[in-house]
Amino acid sequence: MPPKISFKLAILALTTLLTACGYNQFMTPQGLDANSITVTGQGEIKATPDRFLVRAVASREGNDINQMKQGVDREVAETLALARQLGVEDKHLQATNMSVQPQWEWQPKRKMVGYRVWRDINITTQGLETYAQLLEGMTRIGLSEVHPAGSEISNEEELRQQAMAAAVDNARARAQALATAAGRELGPVLSIQVQGSSPITPYPVMKMAASEAANDSWAAGETRLVQEVLVRFQLD
């Protein structure tokens, strides 16, 4: 009859074997390390956008392509002149080449009824007042389409770094509270992982106001830059 081996002795032998084979991390995973703590932190910075994007389309429909092109080119030239007059730099102005597309009638049978000629215009403005004046001027020119295309923050990277620093401070405060509750001392940072960011960028909107002044009838809204980090601290 084979000798009996106690359960405790068998476990001890298995642990020794796994340790000798390099399975330390398997037996004591990082998530169960009693001498460290990992927490998430979140930092938020609020700012007002100061750069605004506009997309417009100058177009004509008909049969005389040359005449339609002249009308489209005139609207584009007037729009670019207006933007330059408002101080917009050429590097923030873009006007695409002319496009021509046949127009079809499908009932009672398919037949071509003319053409559509158009050019796209993309403009980035600095400042809400310039943006509002540009939109109102483009409407007076008679462009067929004028679309607000979003807003930006000129110093977004600087603000994002501030949000990241605030997220680390928030993680430290959380870790300190947990360490104190556990009767431990919070040690230095062992690792930091950036989890991601979630900017929320509103479109500028026209306010319902009695004043007709451009800068009084538009609101830029507020942007939130949110940054999250995962920080591991040593526990002493």
pLDDT > 80? residue 206: no
Q: Which of 78, 114, 112 is nearest to 95 (CA)?
A: 78
55 and 171 co-located in one domain: no
In a domain, 22, yes or no: no
Crossing angle of the two packed helices 65-85 and 128-141, in degrees rounded to 10:
150
The pTM score is: 0.65
State how far Cα 182 lies from the chain centre.
39
Reported as a single tens digit per residue, the pLDDT across 74-98 is: 999 999 999 999 999 999 999 999 9
Reported as a single tens digit per residue, the pLDDT across 137-159 is: 999 999 999 998 888 888 989 99
In a domain, 121, yes or no: yes
Q: Which of 97, 208, 79 is nearest to 135 (CA)?
A: 79
Q: Which of 4, 26, 51 is nearest to 223 (CA)?
A: 51
* Domain containing residue 223: CATH number: 3.30.110.170
Reported as a single tens digit per residue, the pLDDT across 154-186 is: 898 999 999 999 999 999 999 999 999 999 999
| CA pair distance 72, 58, nearest whole angstrom | 5
170 and 223 co-located in one domain: yes
Say what percent of the chain tops pLDDT 70: 77
61 and 131 co-located in one domain: yes
Of 109, 132, 152, which residue sits at a domain end? 152
- Of all helices (H) and strands (E), which one includes residue 218? strand 218-219
* Domain containing residue 123: CATH number: 3.30.70.2970
Cis-peptide, bond into residue 2, ω within 30° of zero: no
**Best mean pLDDT range from 18-22, 32-36, 82-86:** 82-86
Of 133, 152, 171, which residue sits at a domain end? 152
Please give the residue range of the domain that contains residue 66: 51-152
The dihedrals phi and psi of 119, each to the nearest 5 degrees, come to -140, 140
In a domain, 5, yes or no: no
Say what percent of the chain tops pLDDT 90: 62
72 and 148 co-located in one domain: yes
Of 120, 152, 184, which residue sits at a domain end? 152
Higher pLDDT, 25 or 73: 73
pLDDT > 50? residue 229: yes
Q: Is 148 helix (H, G, I), strand (E, B) or coil?
A: strand
In a domain, 8, yes or no: no
pLDDT > 80? residue 7: no
206 and 141 co-located in one domain: no
44 and 74 co-located in one domain: no
pLDDT > 50? residue 213: no
146 and 191 co-located in one domain: no
65 and 140 co-located in one domain: yes
